[in-house]
Amino acid sequence: MELQKKFLIFVPSAQLIFLLGFLIPTLCINQSKLRCRESERAALLEFKEGLRDPHSLLSSWEGSECCNWRGIICDNETQHVVSLDLGYRHLFDGPSTSWRLSGEITPLLSLKHLNYLDLSFNDFRGIDIPEFIGSIQGLSYLNLSNAGFGGRIPSQIGNLSRLQYLDLNSFYSWYTLYADDLQWLSHLSSLRYLDMNSVNLANADDWFYAINMLPVLSVLYFPNCQLKEFTTPLAVPNLTSLASLDLSNNQFVSMLPNWLFNMSKLECINLQFNQIRGSIPDAFANMTSLEVIQLRKNELLGGIPQSIGKLCNLRILDLSSNNITDDVSILATISSECAGGTLEILNLRGNNLVGNLSDWLAHFKVLTYLDLGSNLLQGSIPASIGNISTLRSLFLSQNTLNGTLPETMGQLSRLNLFDVSHNSLSGIISQVHFQNLSKLEHLSLGSNSFVFNMSSDWEPPFRLRLIGLRRCRIGPKFPPWLKKQRDYNILDLSYAEINDTAPDWIWNYDQHIFLLDISHNQIAGEVPGRLKYASMSIIDLSFNQFEGPLPGLPASIEYIDFTGNAFSGTIFPLFAQPMLIFSHLIITDNIINGTIPDSICNYLDMFVIDLSSNLLSGELPECWADLGDLSGLNLANNKLTGKIPSSLGTLSWLQALHLNNNSFHGELPTALKSCTMLITFDVGDNKLSGEIPTWIGESLLYLRILRLRSNMFNGNIPAQLSLLTSLQILDLAGNKLSGNIPSSLGNISAMAQTHKPEARMMEVLQGAVQSSLHNYGPSGYSDTLVLVTKGRKMEYTKNLQYVASIDLSENILSGNIPHQLANLYGLQNLNLSGNKLTGKMPENIGQLELLESLDFSRNNLSGSIPSSISLLTSLSLLNLSYNNLSGRIPTGHQLQTLNDPSMYIGNSALCGPPLEECEQNETHSATLPIKDDEESKMLEFYISMILGFVAGFWVVWGILLSIDSVRYAYFEFTDSLLERLSSAFR
Ligand SMILES: *[C@@H]1O[C@H](CO)[C@@H](O)[C@H](O)[C@H]1NC(C)=O
Ligand SMILES: *[C@@H]1O[C@H](CO)[C@@H](O)[C@H](O)[C@H]1NC(C)=O
């Protein structure tokens, strides 16, 4: 709902337009000859006395002629004050909100003839709506919208029997108005206009009964009111005058109510952003006055009734983001009927429409806006598209359209927005495609297979604001035509096969640019010392060949990704000036050196910092307490030294901490136990020492990855680690851990999940990550946005599935291998090699049927190899070498294919294939060539690949989240466009 509010800010609301209608006549009256009545003058002065008016808006309120005061109108015969208008209507372009009136409202009871009262858009800071308003009997117009009133709406308003216009809209207010019932409303029998936008009516179950008593009501706005039910079936609908009904953004979960279809005069119906179920009834066809149907973002099923075509006034049809399943050719029928001549805006985005586009598209005579994006459309875009000469916006993105782009699109001379991204389109894009597109501002062709072929002197007819050409083959040179495009806000040339030095002009755009993504090309050269872009929010230069020092960033920057270049020098230049909302700093894999400065902590909105794989050195700053929002910190693969600062423990939202592969020493600071949201904790490959703290298991209860590998930790493995029920990767290898392996590790429930990966684990995971990475760009307009944003703390975890690994190798662990480990059915890797483990292998090891690699080598295990091992059908790597195992090697299943004898070497008493037959009592190890430990290298490679990947994953989720913000931008952008268009028709 918050999100909705934001979008709607862009909508010049119909209310305001209506308001202006009231306003204009009152402004034109000349009142110079009027004499003010003393009692009314006194009341007004008392009223002024109660108000706080820091900017003297009421400075004209002095002297005796109150009829000339600002906001006052007197009747030209009786000389009574009839209108008090202190509404503040310059919210969007006037001075700051502090200009508005606040304070107390004294009763205006002496103004007995007042019929018009407007206090809208003031700032009364949560005070109640004064009850005396209900005593101003003559009121016909009452506007208290967005005036900062809060609390319960006084039922006394129900006494205003002459009231025609009531506006209690609180959409822009900080304070919430509510009503527990609307009984009082039912007395307002003259009411024509009622706006209660964002008033909390969650408890007003009688809302429909109340409005059903209003015989002349024409406009009803109840959006954002937390309404849940349309009505009980008992109500007989009575609302015959209603022309405009807005119940959007409530919580209706039922089918469309029957009473709706009795409203024969209804022109506009807006029920978007609810959870309305069921199919779209044919009954719409009877509502012949309908001009606007907005049902976006509900849960409607089934097809589009062809009877909709019979609505001869229909201008806007928005059924986007439902579950409509139909053949898109239904539009052929609709276009051939009445609505084909009137429909201006048609939005069916985000449904399950199938079928092909075809020539019927051109039968819509006045279509300006067509959105069929995010459906299941196939086939090619017909050349007849060039005949929809009225078209201004066309979205066909996120379908499976193929073939080439018809050159006829170059005829759409009014076209402003063209989005066919995320399809399977291909072919050459030439200047013919843009021939007459002088109005084009938004071009989104990304994620197809287009090849650009423009002559080098082409002068585009347009000035673009959004340039989305991801994955179009634009290169190898920077397109010269782009040089003259100077108005763009968004430029996405990622994956464009550009192999060129960055031209100077790309850095010289100043005012407008908001997003620059030229990632994944082979662009070389240096970036200027200071990026000028004044409004740049997102810059992605990743995976190019940029070199030289990092640039200074503009204050507006929020997100940078410079991964995979050759930037050098320190990170100081980035921070040359204060950045206000800097949240994502991603400079992985460059050659940045020097220290991490304290000044990094000045960026309080920092959400993800990833400086991994550089040459950073020195100690970490201690100022982390300032970065309270930090969720991901990745400093892996640098040359950092010193102790891990305990101030990291203040980061209570931290979810990923990677300090691996540096030279940190000392113990893990106890303060880290406050990082209770941690999911990934990786301090492997350092010089850390001391015991593994018990608080890891006791406090970091969300951990999924714990990696302490290759340090100097000693002591026992704390049994408390088994409290980490979400743990999927436990890597303690390469330390000096001693004692037994705690049997309780067999209780870690996340490792006991036995979901079998559908494809090979790596591919699944990488695919998931890649698709999420590539899914943004000017087309990354997504209907799932709202959900994603709501669940953003949940969303990113869903891809890290089905990985489970325990690696305790290269320690000095002793005792038996606890048979409980065989309860971890989901394990894919179990490595206990290089310890001093004794006793037998667990008999039930065959239960670990997902196990892909098993390494018990270089211990002192004895006894025979359990025959259940032959049940490990996924096993691709087995190493039992250098133990004291004896007896016959089990056979069968996967073991047949694991026939390299070296996996059993160093067990003098083992026999059977692939070693020598048991009957022959010879020593065989001497006869076998000792291989250069290739297997164990492979295993290491494999595991480090898993871990490396998983380590990288948490960087990716940062990007994922940021994509939402990118999406948000686009979404907001396109959405506001639609809203602006549609509100123009209201
Ligand atoms: C003012 O008075 C004149 C004549 O008495 C009347 O015709 C006119 O409608 C009045 N104007 C208003 C705004 O009431
Ligand atoms: C487009 O895809 C359809 C199948 O969906 C296929 O039959 C057709 O040949 C394809 N056309 C082109 C031009 O690739």
The whole-number pLDDT of residue 12 equals 33
Better-scored residue on pLDDT, 619 or 980: 619
Q: Which of 26, 31, 77, 116 to mutate to test the pocket of ligand 1 (most atoms within 8 A of CB)?
A: 77
Report whether pLDDT(614) > 80.
yes
Q: Rounded mean pLDDT of 350-379?
A: 94
How far is residue 875's CA from residue 82's CA, in Å, rounded to a whole number? 89
Among protein residues, the one with the nearest Cα to ligand 1's atom 11 is 76
Edge to edge, what strands does the sheet with 860-864 contain? 665-666, 687-691, 712-715, 736-739, 812-815, 836-840, 860-864, 884-888, 909-911
The mean-pLDDT minimum among 538-552, 752-766, 778-792, 840-854 falls in 778-792
Element (H, E) at 829: strand 829-831
The whole-number pLDDT of residue 384 equals 94
pLDDT tens by residue, 932-950: 333 333 333 333 333 333 3
How far is residue 70's CA from residue 66's CA, in Å, rounded to a whole number? 9
Q: Are 530 and 507 in contact (CB under 8 A)?
A: no
Tell which atom from ligand 1 comes closest to the C-alpha of 76. Answer: 1
Degrees to nearest 5, angle at CA 394 with 388 and 395: 145
Q: Rounded mean pLDDT of 964-974?
A: 33
How far is residue 432's CA from residue 126's CA, in Å, rounded to a whole number? 60
Q: Rounded mean pLDDT of 296-322?
A: 95
Q: Rounded mean pLDDT of 724-752?
A: 92
Q: Rounded mean pLDDT of 138-158?
A: 95
- Give 490's strand partners: 466, 515
Cα 381 to middle of ligand 2, angstroms? 12
Lookup: tokens for 870: 């032959």
Does the CB atom of residue 378 touch ligand 2 within 6 A?
A: yes
Residue 232 pLDDT class (50, 70, 90 cuts): low
pLDDT tens by residue, 651-660: 988 888 999 9
CB-side exposure of 406: number of CA atoms within 13 Å? 17
- Give 193's strand partners: 165, 219
DSSP 515: E
Q: How many Cβ atoms from other residues are within 10 Å of residue 711's Cβ?
A: 25
pLDDT tens by residue, 431-473: 999 999 999 999 999 999 999 999 989 999 999 989 999 999 9
Lookup: tokens for 570: 């320190």
Q: Which of 402, 405, 428, 448 to mutate to test the pocket of ligand 2 (most atoms within 8 A of CB)?
A: 402
Does the CB atom of residue 944 touch ligand 1 within 6 A?
A: no
Report whether pLDDT(80) > 80.
yes
Cα 412 to middle of ligand 2, angstroms? 25
- Give 174's strand partners: none
Backbone region of residue 802 per phi and psi (left: phi > 0; alpha: psi in -120 to 50; beta: other values): left
How far is residue 194's CA from residue 14's CA, in Å, rounded to a whole number? 12
The mean-pLDDT minimum among 74-83, 116-125, 282-291, 895-904 falls in 895-904
Q: How many Cβ atoms from other residues are within 10 Å of residue 687's Cβ?
A: 13
Q: What's the one-letter identity of residue 208?
A: F
Does the CB atom of residue 402 touch ligand 2 within 6 A?
A: yes
Is the C-alpha dihedral spanning 136, 140, 145, 150 positive or negative? positive
The whole-number pLDDT of residue 919 equals 67
Degrees to nearest 5, angle at CA 789 with 785 and 791: 120
Report whether pLDDT(669) > 90.
yes
Better-scored residue on pLDDT, 893 or 330: 330
The whole-number pLDDT of residue 937 equals 36
Report whether pLDDT(764) > 50.
no
What is the C-alpha radius of gyration for the chain, rounded to an integer number of angstroms? Answer: 35
Q: What's the one-letter identity of residue 126?
A: G
The whole-number pLDDT of residue 484 equals 86
The mean-pLDDT minimum among 387-401, 575-589, 795-809 falls in 795-809
Does the CB atom of residue 556 touch ligand 2 within 6 A?
A: no
**Nearest residue to 403 via CA among 428, 383, 425, 382:** 425
The runs of H, that is alpha helices, within 140-288 are 207-211
pLDDT tens by residue, 561-609: 999 999 999 999 988 778 778 888 999 999 999 999 998 998 888 888 9
Which burial class, exposed, middle or buried, applies to 313 when counting CB atoms under 10 A from its CB (0-12, 13-18, 19+)?
Answer: middle
φ, ψ of residue 455 to 5 degrees: the values are -70, 155
Q: How many Cβ atoms from other residues are within 10 Å of residue 703's Cβ?
A: 26
| 3-state class (DSSP) for residue 777 | coil
Better-scored residue on pLDDT, 401 or 262: 401
pTM: 0.76
The whole-number pLDDT of residue 771 equals 29
Q: Are 677 and 657 in contact (CB under 8 A)?
A: no
Report whether pLDDT(962) > 90.
no
- Kindly identify the ligand whose nearest atom is closest to the C-alpha of 377: 2
The mean-pLDDT minimum among 9-18, 215-224, 598-607, 657-666 falls in 9-18
The beta strands (E) that lie in 551-622 are given as 559-561, 566-569, 584-586, 591-594, 608-610, 615-619
Does the CB atom of residue 356 touch ligand 2 within 6 A?
A: no
- Kindly identify the ligand whose nearest atom is closest to the C-alpha of 355: 2
How far is residue 875's CA from residue 890's CA, in Å, rounded to a whole number? 14
How far is residue 780's CA from residue 517's CA, in Å, rounded to a whole number? 13
CA distances to 218, 287, 289 from 263, rounded to whole Å, are: 11, 7, 10
Q: Which residue has the tokens 């059915």?
A: 825
Q: Are 229 and 252 in contact (CB under 8 A)?
A: yes
Q: Rounded mean pLDDT of 237-252?
A: 90
Q: Rounded mean pLDDT of 221-247?
A: 85
- Kindly identify the ligand whose nearest atom is closest to the C-alpha of 76: 1
The whole-number pLDDT of residue 783 equals 19
Does the CB atom of residue 758 touch ligand 1 within 6 A?
A: no
Report whether pLDDT(88) > 70.
yes
φ, ψ of residue 414 to 5 degrees: the values are -100, 0
pLDDT tens by residue, 22-72: 443 444 444 455 578 899 999 999 999 999 988 888 999 998 899 999 999
Does the CB atom of residue 77 touch ligand 1 within 6 A?
A: yes
Q: What's the one-letter identity of residue 334?
A: I
Percent of the chain at pLDDT > 70 equals 82
Instruction: Write down the mean pLDDT value for the chain.
Output: 82
Is the C-alpha dihedral spanning 397, 1, 249, 537 positive or negative? negative
pLDDT tens by residue, 684-713: 999 999 999 999 999 999 898 899 999 999
How far is residue 423's CA from residue 771's CA, in Å, rounded to a whole number? 14
Cα 76 to middle of ligand 1, angstroms? 6
Cα 762 to middle of ligand 2, angstroms? 31
Q: Are 754 and 850 in contact (CB under 8 A)?
A: yes
Percent of the chain at pLDDT > 90 equals 60
- Kindly identify the ligand whose nearest atom is closest to the C-alpha of 34: 1
pLDDT tens by residue, 188-215: 999 999 999 999 999 999 999 899 999 9
**Nearest residue to 504 via CA among 527, 534, 477, 538:** 527
Among protein residues, the one with the nearest Cα to ligand 1's atom 10 is 76
pLDDT tens by residue, 840-878: 999 999 888 888 889 999 999 999 999 888 888 888 889
Task: Please report, for the chain, the start and end positions of each structural domain, with discontinuous segments joined by +.
Answer: 939-984
Q: Are 113 and 75 in contact (CB under 8 A)?
A: yes
Report whether pLDDT(828) > 80.
yes
Q: Are 36 and 67 in contact (CB under 8 A)?
A: yes
Element (H, E) at 38: helix 38-50
The whole-number pLDDT of residue 839 equals 95
The whole-number pLDDT of residue 429 equals 96
Q: Rounded mean pLDDT of 868-891?
A: 88
The whole-number pLDDT of residue 582 equals 84
Cα 33 to middle of ligand 1, angstroms? 13
The whole-number pLDDT of residue 511 equals 67
Tell which atom from ligand 1 comes closest to the C-alpha of 75. Answer: 14
Does the CB atom of residue 511 touch ligand 1 within 6 A?
A: no
